[in-house]
Amino acid sequence: MSRSRSGWKYLFGPVFSRRLGVSLGIDLIPFKTCSLNCVYCECGETTDLTVGCREYVPVSAVLAELEQFLSRQPCLDYLTFAGSGEPLLHSGIGRIIDALKRRYPRYRVAVLTNGTLLMRPEVQEQLASADLVVPSLDAATEEVFQKVNRPHRSLHCAALISGLAGFRRSYKGRLALEVFIVPGLNDTPQELTALQEAARLIGPDSLQLNTLDRAGTEDWVTPADPARLEECARILGGAEVFAGGRPRRRVLFSGQGEQDLSCPAGAGEKKRGS
């Protein structure tokens, strides 16, 4: 994993998003190492399609960078595990989350995941201390799951939904389920009805819709227009729409400009709209 232009190897941002406010990204996985090869992924095609968990980068090295960054007491809403691969593939993510909550309790921790590994009890346990988990569910039928997400051969839609429901039963934090709309694939009445039923079974705290903002893996994938997204949200029972120039990509790299991310003690604990 190469050092980014911000000077950090495992961190990116902070970035601003409507959902998370000011968020520091934590990237634990080599570029495009994932359990899915989604047609819409803006990072491109998955080059290492795997469900094997291991310590891809040293936990100690990640914690050392976080210590260096957070020692300045930056004003952040979330520390967010995300990036260009599936973060739950890292076998040490739980140790990092637990260390962050122990050492820096002022900051909330979020995990953005495709949800495919949440059927594993040991993975569920690793996320117990996270404040917010945002798994994806882009299909509720096997046919559409294969077309949109192109999963590792061991993964199937019914098991994914069951795993998400099981995680919801044990997880005490906030769960926000995200559906990425790919026109012509998962926005049909039949698929939306199946997704609504799956969401009812899972029972998330919120349901969020998104769509393409920049070129995806496959050039035939197009964004859903705003009116269609609102219609999908209505069919799904009032989902929130988060789409249209996703601002979470606007990065405030330290050392670029005069942005001051420090704040008084306790300010990072204030809840702001995202």
Give residue 188's pLDDT: 96
**Number of domains observed in the structure of the chain:** 1
Does 263 fall in a domain?
no
| Dihedral (Cα; 20, 26, 31, 37), 10-degree rounding | -40
Tell me, what CATH number does 144's domain have? 3.20.20.70
Does a structural domain hold residue 4?
Answer: no
Considering only CA atoms, which of 4, 49, 22 is closest in space to residue 255? 4
Residues of the domain holding 218: 11-255
Q: What is the pLDDT of residue 264?
A: 31
Residue 268 included in any domain: no
The answer as to whether 262 is a domain residue is no
The verdict on residue 270 lying in a domain is: no
The whole-number pLDDT of residue 83 equals 87
Which phi and psi (to 5°) does residue 207 adopt?
-120, 125
> How are the residues of the chain apportioned to helix, strand and coil, as percentages rounded to the nearest 5?
30, 20, 50
CA angle centred on 150, ends 110 and 214, rounded to 5°: 60
Report the relative pairing of strands 11-17 and 21-26 from DSSP bridges.
antiparallel
In a domain, 6, yes or no: no
Q: What is the pLDDT of residue 244?
A: 54
Residue 35 is which amino acid? S
Q: Which 8-state DSSP code applies to residue 241? A: E
Residue 241 within any structural domain of the chain = yes
- Give the pLDDT of the chain (274 residues) as one tens digit per residue: 544 446 889 999 898 988 899 999 999 999 999 999 999 999 999 999 999 999 999 999 999 999 999 998 999 999 999 988 999 999 999 999 999 999 999 999 999 999 999 999 999 999 999 999 999 999 999 999 999 999 999 999 999 999 999 999 999 999 999 999 999 999 999 999 999 999 999 999 999 999 998 899 999 999 999 999 999 999 998 899 987 544 333 333 333 332 333 333 332 333 333 3
Cα separation of 143 and 6, whole Å?
A: 41
- 58 domain-assigned: yes
**Model confidence, pTM:** 0.87
pLDDT of residue 209: 95
